[in-house]
């Protein structure tokens, strides 16, 4: 389906400072409903509420009462943060921004009636809807592994209890044991994430279980920041980490969580601890609402983050097809600001500026050894396109790597304040 300027009243490309005639609203404030209170949805809710100063009613639907950020969860695994420091609550969004925070699941969207059905049975009507559900798993990419396997072999790819579980398993692993990871196929949330996790697990094992081994079975032939991680593993964890790309390991044939076995074309692994990260798709509510295409993710209009399927619905974060942007918390927060601006422009006639996006991903390889990769993006007719980027270099000195790590801490404080108030 091609999107033309006529399809959307706002227009796919906006001129700086254009004021849009506000919609004619029925009595009462216009309402924006946001499904998902993570880095994407939380940011949209806060930015719409903050800028509209009460003129727009914002309802945020988020099942969890405390949000544990996936970003920095690896640092908790590595012992660099405690668990509570990556947890954030929604009280401030309610008290300081007047957002109606509802802890419930959205189980359906009626796009013709413009209402959201909640698991508790309530219906919430919307003028504009934001869907930011993150990801769900494609279990077909890991035959034999399912929801019921996630205690024996945690994915820990949605942070919280799973992260605590994985950390406990790492610390309880028998001396000289084997830690395995099944790394996910593209596209997946947080491209450097699995490899930062390996670094953090190696850091723990080096201290507590130095004869342990780590094997990564990957369907991919390369991964994000590969040169930097490979150098770091060799510098800090010599001999401990083995990465097997698809061409060597072959496909995953079968996973048996009860028996703790992972069968690939090349061999049968019997790990002591296994972290299986399945392939991914948009959070299920997006599919239920008819917002996904065959890829399992959601096509969007780059200039506004509107769904290509419905002009009253906006999508941000990991569930979207965001062109050159990776799936990350930073990207979700960046896209959310474009969406918030576009929503307010469509509801209240505030200015619509050209969309700007950015992302930076920091990864920690070892104590005080941090690296980063990032880019800026712009909205083109067909996708969100990278304009320029940068990446840390191999061989950087210790002072710069330490500064990079400290910068990431500053960023974490900044983004969590930006999302949760």
Partner 1 sequence: MLFPLIAVKAAVADDAAVERGKLVFKSCASCHQVGPKAKNSVGPPLNGIFGRRAGSIDGIRYSDDLARAGANGLVWDRNNLDAYIENPRSLVSKTRMQFRGIKEPEKRADLIAFLRTFSDNPRDIPEAAPTATALSHDPAVDPNILAIQGDPDFGEYLAGECVTCHQVSGADSGIPSITGWPTEVFVTAMHAYRAKTRAHPVMRMIAAPLNDEEIASLAVYFKNLQP
* # chain residues binding partner 1, by CB under 8 A: 38
Q: CA–CA separation, 354 vs 6, rounded Å?
A: 18
Q: How many helices (H) and strands (E) does the chain have?
A: 10, 27
Listed in sequence order, the residues at least 6 apart from 169 whose beta carbon sits closer than 8 Å to its beta carbon are 154, 273
Helix (H, G, I), strand (E, B) or coil at 106: strand
Nearer to partner 1, 244 or 391 (CB): 391
* Contacts of range 148-153, beta carbons closer than 8 Å, 24 or more positions apart: 148/257, 149/255, 149/257, 149/276, 152/257, 152/258, 152/260, 152/274, 153/255, 153/257, 153/260, 153/274, 153/275, 153/276
Please tell me whether residue 97 binds partner 1 under the rule CB under 8 A.
no
Shortest distance (Å) from residue 71 CB to partner 1:
12
Stretch near partner 1 under the rule CB under 8 A, chosen from 71-79, 187-195, 265-273, 404-412: 404-412
Shortest distance (Å) from residue 227 CB to partner 1:
16
Q: CA–CA separation, 40 vs 58, rounded Å?
A: 15
DSSP state of 12: S
Shortest distance (Å) from residue 56 CB to partner 1:
17
DSSP string, 170-187: HHHPPTT-EEEEEEPPSS
Q: Which of residues 204-243 bind partner 1 (CB under 8 A)?
A: none
Please tell me whether residue 145 binds partner 1 under the rule CB under 8 A.
no
Q: Which of residues 346-375 bind partner 1 (CB under 8 A)?
A: 351, 353, 356, 358, 360, 372, 374-375
Please tell me whether residue 399 binds partner 1 under the rule CB under 8 A.
yes
Contact code string over 36-55 relative to partner 1, x by CB under 8 A? -----------x--------
From candidates 58, 231, 408, 420, binder to partner 1 by CB under 8 A: 408
Please tell me whether residue 395 binds partner 1 under the rule CB under 8 A.
no
Q: CA–CA separation, 289 vs 122, rounded Å?
A: 17
- Point out which residues bind partner 1 (CB under 8 A): 16-17, 47, 330, 333-334, 337, 341, 351, 353, 356, 358, 360, 372, 374-376, 387-390, 396-397, 399-400, 402-403, 406-411, 413-415, 417-418
């Amino acid at each position: 389906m091609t999107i033309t300027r006529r399809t959307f009243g706002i227009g796919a490309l906006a001129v700086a400072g254009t004021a849009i005639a506000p919609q004619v609203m029925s009595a009462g404030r216009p309402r924006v409903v946001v499904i998902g209170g993570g880095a994407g949805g939380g940011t949209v809710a806060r930015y719409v509420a903050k800028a509209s100063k009460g003129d727009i009613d914002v309802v945020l639907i988020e099942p969890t009462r405390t949000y544990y950020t996936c970003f920095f969860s690896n640092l908790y695994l590595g012992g660099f943060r405690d668990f509570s420091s990556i947890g954030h609550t929604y009280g401030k969004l309610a008290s300081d921004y007047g957002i109606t925070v509802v802890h419930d699941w959205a189980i359906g969207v009626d796009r013709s009636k413009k209402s959201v059905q909640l698991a508790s049975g309530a219906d919430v009507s919307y003028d504009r809807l934001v869907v930011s559900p993150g990801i769900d798993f494609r279990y077909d990419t890991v035959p034999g592994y399912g929801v019921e396997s996630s205690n024996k072999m945690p994915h820990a790819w949605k942070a919280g209890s799973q992260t605590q579980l994985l950390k406990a398993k790492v610390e309880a692993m028998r001396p000289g044991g084997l830690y395995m990871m099944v790394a996910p196929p593209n596209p997946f949330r947080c491209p450097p994430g699995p490899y930062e996790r390996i670094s953090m697990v190696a850091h723990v094992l080096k201290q507590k279980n130095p004869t342990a081994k780590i094997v990564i079975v990957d369907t991919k032939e390369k991964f994000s920041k590969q040169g930097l991680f490979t150098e770091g593993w060799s510098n800090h964890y010599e001999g401990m980490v083995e990465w097997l790309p698809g061409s060597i390991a072959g496909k995953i044939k079968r996973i048996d969580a009860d028996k703790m076995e992972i069968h690939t074309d090349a061999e049968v692994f019997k790990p002591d601890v296994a972290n299986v990260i399945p392939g991914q798709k948009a959070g299920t509510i997006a599919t239920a609402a008819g917002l996904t295409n065959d890829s399992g993710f959601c096509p969007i209009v780059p200039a506004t983050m509107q769904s290509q399927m419905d002009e009253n619905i906006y999508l941000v974060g990991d569930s979207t097809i965001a062109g050159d942007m990776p799936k990350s918390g930073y990207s979700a927060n960046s896209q959310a600001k474009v969406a918030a601006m576009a929503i307010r422009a469509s509801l209240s006639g505030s200015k619509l500026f050209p969309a700007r996006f950015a992302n930076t991903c920091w990864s920690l390889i070892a104590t005080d050894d941090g690296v980063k990769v990032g880019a800026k993006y712009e909205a083109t007719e067909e996708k969100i396109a990278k304009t320029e980027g940068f990446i840390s270099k191999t061989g950087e000195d210790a002072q710069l790597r330490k500064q990079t790590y400290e910068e990431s801490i500053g960023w974490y404080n900044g983004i969590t304040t930006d999302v949760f108030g």
